[in-house]
Structure 1
Amino acid sequence: MLYIFDLGNVIVDIDFRRVLGAWSDLGRVPLATLQSRFHMGEPFFQHERGEISDEQFAAQMCEQLDIALGFEQFAVGWQAVFVGVRPEVIAIMHKLREQGDRVVILSNTNRLHCEFWPTEYPEVKNAADKIYLSQEMGLRKPDPEIYQRLLNEEEASVQDAIFFDDNLENIEAARALGIHSVHVTDASVVPAFFSDRK
């Protein structure tokens, strides 16, 4: 079986409120003001597909938020999104691999974050057979092509795959291709899924 895990809020807890909080402190702009201005628009998606540089993304986000931050300040805030790893999911991933299943990660992410979490959470990489990253593939979920390319590379059929993601749009796109997909709404979902399958 091929198990496909998203990273954020599936294996590692993330919280964008922490990013805005850090930027608010660094830029001396009220948090409520940043919250009202922040949205994940086209620069966000271009960054995740690897189409613009970290510096270009930072400049565009600072313009959107109307905040004066140096690149290093921006990066410090951007990395604040990571809260901590979910050890119970790491344990499940290891168990799946031990029983002969294939375990991969499919993440919409960006170069800045990939400079941070692999060293901060080395146990994530150690729990996966392969990591598929949007900025390296030039595609991002929910584009159907990203799932198809992963299946092709893994030489797996949709019937042999199970996908876990916290974003309903990503789940629905995978389901439309016939992939068994589990919407991870909180930290209990993945452990409960596997306990029910014993």
Structure 2
Amino acid sequence: MSPARMAAYWALRAVLEGEDLPRALVRERDRLPDERDRALVTELTTGTLRWLAALDYLVVRTSGRPTSRLDPEVLAVLRLGAYQLLYLDRIPASAAVNESVTLAKRIGKTSASGLVNAVLRRVADTAERPALPRNPGPHGSRAAQLAYLSVAGSHPAWLAARWLDRVGFERVNGTRRFNKPGSQERVRPNPGTYIY
């Protein structure tokens, strides 16, 4: 079991329970000696949070259960696994699924390991994976535009609605490029540098 995935799980759970992201990330990253593991914790946690709506959409459709009926701990494992399958090219699908099943067992959710395995295998299989809402274009219905922006773009529905009202679909859709994996620039403090 990868220590980075375990740390990402705890950071994600902390943030979803109300802790601020920087504090949760620093706490979990500082426990890991390897810089590559620390980088993976950051990628898994921030990426999962960035694409939460799209991940939940897929989890709901592949599990047949609303997120409210899934154990929050199991849901966090499913979200992390689905993020790796959809957005990280360098992690093989088999590794993402197997590590997620192992993670479920490690956190004491052994009874849910079959569910985690089944859901993530469906997400990994592009033939079985439900499609995210398609781009309806500027002439599509408002409902289709909102579904596309809030699910495929992973924007909060209220924010997507506000943007549509203020600037229109074409302009809002043009900003989606900033949500693509790897496009966000990150700033982090250098602990050895002081500015006076």
Task: Give the TM-score of the pair, scaled to structure 2.
Answer: 0.29
* Higher fraction of helix: 2
Structure ranking higher on relative contact order (CA contacts 8 Å, 6+ apart): 1
Q: TM-score w.r.t. structure 1 length?
A: 0.29
